């Protein structure tokens, strides 16, 4: 007599593009032992739906346009007892994207151009509570560990990303709820770490190293 088949892994697809959700559903529902239980078009909806207790893994995009982003939603989801695992599935792989998501509690981080078999494997890995990282993301994290001098903190990355957008120190301070002096201190440390002496050089160097998006 054979035992009962294990319960399927129940997924929540969280992405603001219907075509992307449909594509993920089409790929994953062909996989044995995986079922798409729900979809969410906003990060806020994903947080609410993930809290109902019938989801095992959330496939979370990072950018949702207005409102909460994917990293914030991940933090809200994983903060709850018995929370589902969160697997980030996005097009972004810079430190400015990966670090906040991983710090927020994401179990894995995959890029949308990953082969279908890698996506299914990552879902199973995340459901088992193990880390699943895209090779480029894993390589970058290892580089940060090996070369801490060029590693920017999350706040330094946030400040430099806003510099790249053209914001002044005053506007950056207002956006991040910091003092202008604190912003200047963060930038001074960024200059030292990157070996540069100007805002333009800091942005160019950080973008070349994959620390921020441009």
What kind and span of H or E run contains 60?
A: strand 57-60
At 1 the pLDDT is 46
Neighbours of 32 (CB within 10 A): 7
Compute mean pLDDT per 10 residues along the chain, 214 residues long, and list them.
Answer: 74 96 93 95 96 95 89 94 93 79 90 90 93 83 63 86 92 92 92 87 84 76
β-partners of residue 60 are 14, 88
Task: Mark out the alpha helices in 69-134 (DSSP H runs).
Answer: 70-78, 95-103, 116-127
Calpha distance 90→112 (Å, rounded): 5
Domain positions in the chain: 9-143, 148-208
Cα torsion 112, 116, 117, 120: sign:
positive
3-state secondary structure 161-213: HHHHCCCCHHHHHHHHCCCHHHHHHHHHHHHHHHCCCCHHHHHHHHHHCCCCC
Calpha distance 8→79 (Å, rounded): 24
Query: What is the dotted CATH code of the domain comprising 9-143?
Result: 3.40.50.2300
User: Hey, what CATH topology would domain 148-208 get?
Assistant: Arc Repressor Mutant, subunit A (1.10.10)
- Rounded to 5°, angle at Cα 190 from 189 and 195: 100
CA-CA-CA-CA dihedral for 159, 163, 168, 170, to nearest 10: 0
Question: Is 0.95 topped by the overall pTM?
Answer: no
Residue with tokens 């449909």, as numbered in its chain: 22
Residue with tokens 């400040």, as numbered in its chain: 159
Neighbours of 28 (CB within 10 A): 20
Calpha distance 5→151 (Å, rounded): 46
């Amino acid at each position: 007599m054979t035992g009962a088949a294990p319960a399927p892994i129940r997924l929540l697809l969280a992405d603001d593009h219907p075509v992307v959700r449909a594509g993920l559903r089409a790929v994953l529902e062909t996989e044995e032992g995986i079922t798409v239980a729900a979809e969410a078009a906003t990060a806020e909806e994903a947080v609410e739906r993930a809290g109902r207790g019938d989801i095992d893994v959330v496939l979370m995009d990072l950018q949702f346009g207005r409102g909460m982003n994917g990293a914030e939603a991940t933090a809200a989801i994983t903060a709850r007892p018995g929370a589902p695992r969160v697997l980030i599935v996005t097009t972004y792989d810079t430190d400015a994207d990966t670090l906040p998501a991983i710090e927020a509690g994401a179990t894995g981080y995959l890029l949308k151009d990953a082969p279908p078999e890698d996506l299914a494997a990552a879902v199973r890995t995340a459901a088992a509570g193990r880390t699943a990282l895209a090779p480029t993301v894993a390589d970058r994290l290892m580089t940060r560990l090996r070369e801490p001098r060029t590693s920017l903190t999350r706040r330094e990355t946030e400040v430099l990303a806003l510099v790249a957008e053209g914001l002044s120190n005053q506007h950056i301070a207002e956006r991040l709820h910091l003092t202008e002096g604190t912003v200047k201190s963060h930038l001074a440390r960024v200059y030292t770490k990157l070996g540069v002496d100007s805002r333009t050089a800091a942005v160019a160097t950080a973008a070349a190293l994959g620390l921020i998006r441009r």
